[in-house]
Structure 1
Amino acid sequence: MSKPTTAADMPDELRRRLGVPDAVVIGLGSMIGAGIFAALAPAAHAAGSGLLIALALAAVVAYCNATSSARLAARYPASGGTYVYGRERLGDFWGYLAGWGFVVGKTASCAAMALTVGSYVWPGQAHAVAVAAVVALTAVNYAGVKKSAILTRVIVAVVLAVLAAVAVAALTASASDAARLDVGGDAGFGGVLQAAGLLFFAFAGYARIATLGEEVRDPARTIPRAIPIALGITLVVYAVIAVAVLTVLGPRGLAGATAPLSDAVRAAGVDWLVPVVRVGAAVAALGSLLALILGVSRTTLAMARDRHLPHALAAVHPRFKVPHRAELVVGVIVATVAATSDVRAAIGFSSFGVLAYYAVANASAWTLTPEEGRPARVVPVLGLAGCLALAFALPVSSVISGAAVLAAGAAWYGVRRLAAARS
């Protein structure tokens, strides 16, 4: 009788350690992060008093994406997320393009989150602090995914406590000090659509659950449960915060705010809470950065296994059972970008790449059969149309740079295929 195969016998396989609570927490750590501290002001600038409509629109697209991703993740419980789904359902090119968009776009997200940490912790040395944060969290991820989940749980608890304090302070402000809440739209449909694209940046973290498909227990059950739970909690939190901030600042005040949540508690007359909000923003950005590095390294692992990226990055550490080379390379690249880039440009560029990634996910979900757990047909159709609409409603500079990078990735794929055909 042959000896049963164990994890130690499969050095290239990751270890399944995460249950539903851990997966939900990782998703929350990715979504309830710096986005809610930073995205409200530019979204209000685009949508005016239509901010809540934009939030609802972004949530609908996110729900469709989450549903499609959950069904696909249950069918293909391997690291890589939509890179794997696109490859299996649509063909090698579409999987590659999704993976390329995710890795490049989320690398920019990592840099944006790191710079957010720096701007809150030490504004005068934001780039240096950003690099230090990347190095520290890369080391945490290197030590194992379970340790990352534990740290993320602590971060999520801190951020939720800070956001609760902001909501209570704003919503209990006296009527004489609070601005009138106005939820009507006065910026036109284009402005609302652009705001939804910007707010989508704050919802996009649920992909991190799917990219960890090879490290969760019973993925066919865990992933479809964890993704909607994480998204639902995030939507409720965002809606409460948006209403609270609009209540005290009003649409115009929010649009002009440099630190919306800090300005909101100050306008509510709770100045002592401002430093707490600043700390909460920094912690939130650290949580997002931790989960982002985790997800990008796993997609890098999957692409390296298929040799779309250098195969050396497919190595899994024999002790920690993590893709250690991929994590180190991602950490070095993110640290370099964080040391040299601008946070606003990074966010816009990232949003385009992420929306392209989810467009492929929805197209892949459309091809599932009922026996494979296909969602209702309207879900991937609405998700695909929503992703494309939000992507091309982003600022022109973001659309041009994002499309150029996707085109460069496609060209590289074509060159590799041509070279392989000739050899």
Structure 2
Amino acid sequence: MNKKKIGFWSIVLLTINSIIGTGIFLSPGSVTKSAGTQAPMIYLVAAVFTSVLAITFASAAKYVTKSGAAYAYVKAAFGNTLGQYVGVTRVIAASIAWGTMGTFVVRTTLKIFGFDSANLTYVTVGFLVLMSILLLINIFGTRLLTVISDISTIGKVLALLVTIFAGIAILVYTGKSNISDINLLKAADGSPLIKEMSATAFVTAVIAAFYAFTGFESVASGSQDMENPEKNLPKAIPLAIGIIAAIYFGIVLVGMHVNPVALVQSKEVVVLASIFTNPILEKVVVLGALVSMFGINVAASFHTPRVLEAMAKEKQVPEIFAKRMSNDLPLPAFLFTAFFAIIIPLSFRYDSTGIAIISSISRFVQFLIVPLAVVVFYYGKSKETILDSKKSVVTDVIIPILALIFSVLLLVKFDWKGQFSIKDASGAVVTNTKAIISMIVGYVVLPVIMFVYTKMRKENR
């Protein structure tokens, strides 16, 4: 079987594919509702925050090239215990993210073909079909996976560029901007729908926009399948972030000027498509979203199992998860993480909002610890031997500290109560019990089980 390694430009495309997924097609509405005419600025702020984190992760990648990304970095810096905790929570977070993206691609596909996207049976069957397709793609090896990833990345970028240029053409042709229309929207009580932005609203909007940038932290999970990861990853990840930031800013700016009301009020699955009244342009955006969502699921099917595989190689989870097929697919790890990717959305009855919240928040453990790991690498205080890479006080100390400060500020200012509440059938606001239980299981129960497993394994040697 072919065991071709993933080259530099494919890593750049894989990074873009890992990031551009559901977020930019679905999140502009919530960001615009929170930020009003300042929505494009919010995406720029989110891009800056993402860039700081991406550079931090890229810096870590030049010191540690083992698969597992954040897990490998933290284990090398701080040892087995903290590394194992980050590894377990990363597997859960990555599986949740995979499930979130799978939910969106299935529901969008059902919507496109005229089926009821709220029907649990349809969505569940669609989910199982999607996972079967992803398994087949991975069985055929990295060559096919890379080709599909590259094609889907190019397709989604072209769809977004068409949206930008079509929007610009509309604005030039009509000579009119509609951005001020958003200030005319009213809430149910007659008050302005777009409120003056508070600190909490600003942070909530930034996190909502940040969701459209997440995924970069998983790119290095399969570094052993890449060419020269210690050189290529630190270059590829920031380059991809820069490309994505430019596209996102253009998309949101154009959308705000063409039809900001539609961004806020649209009930369509693909919110971004609602800014156009032209059916052809609308279909281009919807199809672009579908390609985007499928592509990011392909990327997730590559990244996610390899985190669990990396832990198995270090004997911190059962070694069965380190077993690979002849085509280099870690099949047991794939099946385990795919199970979580299916079961979590199902437990939420495919509530997109609920699982998206969990997906966003679950990533912050690694955003807090990896910056500290990079600083440890710079000062040569790591628990394990690392690569003798070129050090920089800017990328290895200053930027990681900024990443840590930004992460702490976002978590402190985040509206935890509001985001862990949902409306019941009567419209009353109630506690999102499933979300809380999911966090407890993923961040307390499963890590404890793995710690006990590791301890028992050592005692039985």
Task: Give the TM-score taking structure 1 as reference length.
Answer: 0.88
Q: What is the one-letter code of the residue matched to 2:443?
A: L
Question: Quick check: 1:158–1:283 contact (8 Å CA) kept in 2?
Answer: yes
Structure-2 separation of matches of 1:330 and 1:103: 7
The one of 333, 347, 357 aligned to 2:340: 333
- The letter for the 2-side match of 1:153 is D
- Name the counterpart of 1:112: 100
Root-mean-square deviation (Å)? 2.6
Task: Report 1:191-340 matches (<5 A).
Answer: 191-250=201-260, 253-258=262-267, 259-266=270-277, 270-317=278-325, 319-339=326-346, 340=349
What secondary structure is seen at the aligned counterpart in 2 of 1:217?
coil
The offset of 1:73, in angstroms, is: 1.1
**Stretch moving more, 389-398 or 186-195:** 389-398
Quote how far apart the aligned CAs of 1:67 are: 1.1
Match of 2:166 in 1: 169
For structure 1, the 5+ residue unaligned runs are 1-7, 9-13
Which region of structure 1 is more displaced relative to structure 2, 350-359 or 172-181? 172-181
1:415 maps to 452
Unaligned runs of 5+ in 2: 117-121, 184-193, 380-387, 421-434
1:73 and 1:282 map into 2 onto residues whose CA distance is: 31
Cα 1:409–1:196 change in 2 (3 A) is farther
Contact 2:138–2:145 under 8 Å retained in 1? yes
Change in Cα spacing, 1:421 to 1:138, as seen in structure 2 (3 Å) is closer
CA contact (8 A) 2:358 2:439 kept: no
How many Å separate the matches in 2 of 1:395 and 1:201? 16
Counting matched residue pairs gives 406
Q: Is the 8 A contact 1:35 1:201 kept in 2?
A: yes
Conservation of the 8 A alpha-carbon contact between 1:297 and 1:327: yes
Instruction: Give the Cα–Cα distance (whole angstroms) in 1 for the partners of residues 205 and 90 of structure 2.
Output: 21
Alpha-carbon distance in 2 for matches of 1:64, 1:145: 30
Please say if 1:100 is aligned against 2:110. no
Q: For 1:349 and 1:68, locate their aligned partners in 2 and report how far apart those are by CA, in whole Å.
A: 23
Report matched runs for 1:20-31 at 5 Å: 20-31=8-19
Contact kept in structure 1, 2:156 and 2:288, CA below 8 Å:
yes
Where do 4+ consecutive residues of structure 1 move more than 6 Å? 181-185
Give distance in 1, aligned partners of 2:290 and 2:207: 23
Q: CA deviation at 1:15?
A: 5.1
> Structure 1: how far apart are the matches of 2:351 and 2:216?
25
Distance in 2, matches of 1:309 and 1:416, equals 7
* Cα shift readout 1:203-245 (whole Å, capped 9, x = no counterpart): 1222232112111111221111111111111111111111111
For residue 198 of structure 1, what is the amino acid of its counterpart? A
Matched residue type, 2:80: D
Aligned identity (percent) is 19
Classify 1:421/1:219 alpha carbon distance in 2 versus 1 (closer, same or farther; 3 Å): closer
C-alpha separation in 2, matches of 1:16 and 1:359: 34
For residue 70 of structure 2, what is the aligned residue in structure 1? 82
Shift of 1:93: 2.4
- Given that 1:356 and 1:388 are in contact with CA atoms closer than 8 Å, whether structure 2 keeps it comes out as no
> Counterpart of 1:384 in structure 2: which amino acid?
L
What is the CA–CA distance in structure 1 between the aligned matches of 2:228 and 2:402, rounded to whole Å? 29
Deviation per CA, 1:73-102, whole angstroms, max 9, x where unpaired?
Answer: 121111100101000102222222222222
- Write the distance in 2 (CA, Å) between the matches of 1:187 and 1:51: 11
Equivalent-residue separation in structure 2 for 1:381 and 1:82 (angstroms)? 16
Alignment partner of 1:178 is 2:178: yes
Of the three residues 148, 157, 175, the one matched with 1:160 is 157
Give the drift of 1:402.
6.6
Q: Which residue of 1 aligns with 2:47?
A: 59
Give 1:146 deviation, angstroms. 2.4
Q: Following the alignment from structure 1 to structure 2, what is the Cα–Cα distance between the partners of residues 394 and 316? A: 42
Residue of structure 2 in register with 1:345 after alignment: 354
Residue 376 of structure 2 is matched in structure 1 by 367
